[in-house]
Amino acid sequence: MARSAKRTISVFGLKEGSILHSCISPDYIGGKMMAVRAEICGGVLQWETPSNRPLDNYDGEPIDLLAVVPSQMIFILDHPELWSRIRHVIIGGAPIPREIACRIQESSIDAWETYGMTETASHIALRKVTVPEQPFATLEGIEICCDSRCCLSIHMEGWQSVNTNDIAEINADRTFRILGRIDTAIITGGKKVFPIPIEQMLEDKFGRDILITSEPDTKWGEKIVCVVSGEAVDGLPEEISDWCRESLRPEERPKEIRFGAIPCTPNGKKKRGKL
């Protein structure tokens, strides 16, 4: 935990007197690590009860490092008067939905998406949200590779190695992208499809939250279903269908497009698995 904290302290230039403000429960590693970082750099730790109204009526000193989850970021984006009070913000706990990422890019907030887990004592890589499509960059002392499953394997200086279930694409400069989880791959017609890259392309194109999932099917084994948030306005189903036909491989194309609420887990992540 100390090594992890020092990596973050170095990236964001934290020092004695720096203000670290956490909106994340200390029950989770993201909340615990804010306390460790403050202790090691000699900073001032500020804590608030987690809610979806972070920094509501905040009247303290400017914050050097703020930790939130994606759903909390919405409130901050809705209140531009807070933007100048935040030097850096790290966003973890779940992937950042495309709509929120686009709003961050239009703001003046220096926001970073984190990649990590409890086993790695919080994040081992960061990506700057304000730079569209920027990959994750590993921090100092972190080495990565792909295992025989094409999943990300993380090797931390002075600590254990961690094999993940995240399918990764690693670049020569130690940056990487996560293509999806091996345990959420959809087997349709005998071919393996990873839903997350398809979702990202569709969200970029149509500006809505989208879930690529499946349901049992007699012919295909699993039938790919595209769930689009919101209502089906005139022409949109046909536009999505035409785009999928032109841009996706045959096995990736949804057999059905549905509109409505995106199924989510209690902590706000898209609910994976069959419908």
**Is the pLDDT assigned to residue 265 strictly greater than 80?**
no
CB 254 within 8 A of CB 224: yes
Q: What is the pLDDT of residues 38-60, one digit of tens each?
A: 999 999 999 999 999 999 999 99
pLDDT tens track for 114-169: 999 999 999 999 999 988 889 999 999 999 999 998 899 999 988 889 999 999 99
Residue range 170-182: average pLDDT? Answer: 90
Phi, psi of 29, deg, nearest 5? -60, -35
Domains and CATH numbers, the chain: 2-140 (3.40.50.12780), 186-260 (3.30.300.30)
pLDDT, tens digit (0-9, with 9 covering 90-100), for 73-127: 999 999 999 999 999 999 998 888 878 898 999 999 999 999 999 999 999 999 9
CB atoms within 10 A of CB 92: 24
pTM, entire model: 0.78
Split at pLDDT 50, 70, 90, the class of 7 is very high
Collapsed DSSP state (helix, strand, coil) of residue 123:
strand
Going by C-alpha positions, the residue among 144, 201, 129, 199 that lies closest to residue 175 is 144
Q: What is the pLDDT of residue 267?
A: 63
**Sign of the C-alpha dihedral, residues 197, 203, 209, 213?**
negative
Unique residue bearing structure tokens 């349901």: 215
Predicted confidence at residue 55, as pLDDT, reads 97
Please give the average per-residue pLDDT across 13-27, as a whole number: 96
Structure tokens at 10: 């170095």
Q: Over the chain, what is the mean pLDDT?
A: 93
Is 80 exceeded by the pLDDT of residue 274?
no
User: What pLDDT, on a 0 to 100 scale, did the predictor assign at position 272?
Assistant: 77
Q: Which amino acid appears at position 190 of this protein?
A: G
